[in-house]
Amino acid sequence: MSLPAAITVEYDSAPEADELLSHELADLVGLDMTEEWPAADSATRRPPEAESPSEIARADTAKADAFAFRGVVVARAGSELAGWARLLQPPGEAAAVVFDHILVPRVRRRLSAGRYAVDGDPAELADERELLTLLLQHAATHAKRLGFATINWNGPDTDPIGLAAEELGARVDAELGRHWTVPDLKAWAPPPGLPQVTLRATARPFPAGPDMAVEAYVRLYNHVHAQDTGYGDHTDHELIGAVPDLGEDGAALEPCPGNHAEAEPPWDAAGIDAYLTDLAPQGHVLDLLTADGALTAQLAAGLADDRALLEVTVPRDASPAQLAAGIAGLIAHLRAADADATDLDIREIADPPLRQAAELLGARITSRWQAYALTL
């Protein structure tokens, strides 16, 4: 992608603007809108900067219900849609508005390569940073006209959204999470002293009808998702649902079960199955079991290019050492499966057990998920 000189940005306050743009995007990238992706009855939301499939096809209905829509800013290259951002007012918040964006190049990349992330291409990184900077500038202008004092967003500091924040002089209100990387998986060796753990491959697709194993997944996901309702005092936590890119983009910010984000409608078997299909289409999903065979966590890795992105669904009272051993087992699984992944990226959002497990494994922080605020 190379941005043409003639990028125009306009504001639209019509309530139906977001839906119309979603359909325009679908037509542009060849996405079939006769079936919602993900399905409307599934809870498959991860952060926007974090590889969120909900970015692609439809408005996030849960977010729309909780937030007041204050219009969109739309960027076009000539007559072609380049991206847009919604202005969303959190409930009970009079002074701040949230910036929630979608870029057409990211959607195309997701459909063709399985990731939103720029993946280090300097030209694409610069183009997307420029496009996001334009959208943020116009969003800030209209938010100020609407009477707001602050515009909030979040994402990885190394992603175009973080680089745009730096360019605009936005302040960092909090570090919400991190992306950890275990490099060179073929040469990597687990640290000494990790406990022995039991892993099993998750049997999928889930069978129809009642099933004890599937019910255990439903209980785990709902327990993990219900144990936290936010990220401290920050009103933009629901954006975390959408997601790191395949590793660094977190693009997202839609709450995924391991992100301990705000409460959502209850997870069911169909929602979990759809979530895992989107996250780990190659089927690299493992269950971490207790000594007596009970489900305690789930590890799911998706592959894109030469990287694996790990999402972990685990309760906050989990043992970091056992979780680290489980991740080590997943790495061994990827090796045995001849998975084409040189590095493992772990997205950790406000998750102490996962953070400690990453530290035990010797993973290094490669980006930081930050809450940004720009005073208007």
Domains of the chain: 7-177 (3.40.630), 182-369 (3.40.630.30)
- pLDDT of residue 47 exceeding 70, the answer is no
Q: By the 8 A CB rule, do 323 and 354 touch?
A: yes
Residue the block writes with tokens 């209980």: 219
- The tokens for 45 are 């939301």
Nearest to 329 by CA among 355, 352, 301: 301
Q: Tell me: the pLDDT tens digits for 140-164? A: 999 999 999 999 999 999 999 999 9
> What share of the chain in percent tops pLDDT 70?
77
- Identify which has the larger pLDDT, 65 or 62: 65
Report pLDDT digits (tens) over 219-240.
999 988 877 544 333 323 333 3
Residues 248-270, mean pLDDT to the nearest whole number: 47
Residue 165 has pLDDT above 90, yes or no: yes
The answer on pLDDT for 260 being more than 60 is no
pLDDT at site 5: 58
pLDDT digits over 63-73, tens only? 445 789 999 99
User: DSSP strand E in 183-264: where?
Assistant: 198-201, 251-252
CB 63 within 8 A of CB 6: no
Strand partners, 365: 180
Question: CA–CA separation, 283 vs 298, rounded Å?
Answer: 13
Q: How far apart are CA 66 and CA 238, in angstroms?
A: 10
Range of weakest confidence among 39-43, 224-228, 316-320: 39-43
Give 4's pLDDT tier (boundaries 50, 70, 90). Answer: low
- Left, alpha or beta for 4 (phi > 0: left; psi -120 to 50: alpha)? beta
> What is the C-alpha to C-alpha distance for residues 30 and 10, in angstroms, rounded to an integer?
24
Q: Yes or no: say if 256 and 45 are a contact pair by the CB < 8 Å rule.
A: yes
Which of left, alpha, beta for 147 (phi over 0: left; psi -120 to 50: alpha)?
Answer: left
Mean pLDDT over 283-307 rounds to 93
- pLDDT at residue 113, as a whole number: 62
DSSP helix/strand/coil, 99 = strand
Average per-residue pLDDT for the chain: 80
First-to-last alpha carbon distance for the chain, in angstroms, is: 31
Least confident of 78-92, 110-124, 346-360, 361-375: 110-124
State what percent of residues in the chain have pLDDT above 90.
54
pLDDT tens digits, residue range 187-200? 999 999 999 999 99
CA distances from 232 to 156, 228, 235, 288, 370 (A): 18, 10, 9, 29, 13
**Can you give the pLDDT at residue 350?**
83
Q: Are 371 and 230 in contact (CB under 8 A)?
A: no
Q: Which of 127, 194, 215, 197 is nearest to 164 (CA)?
A: 127
So what's the pLDDT on residue 125? 80
Going across the sheet that includes 171-182, the strands are 7-12, 68-77, 80-89, 96-103, 150-156, 364-375, 171-182, 343-349, 307-313, 295-304, 284-289, 198-201
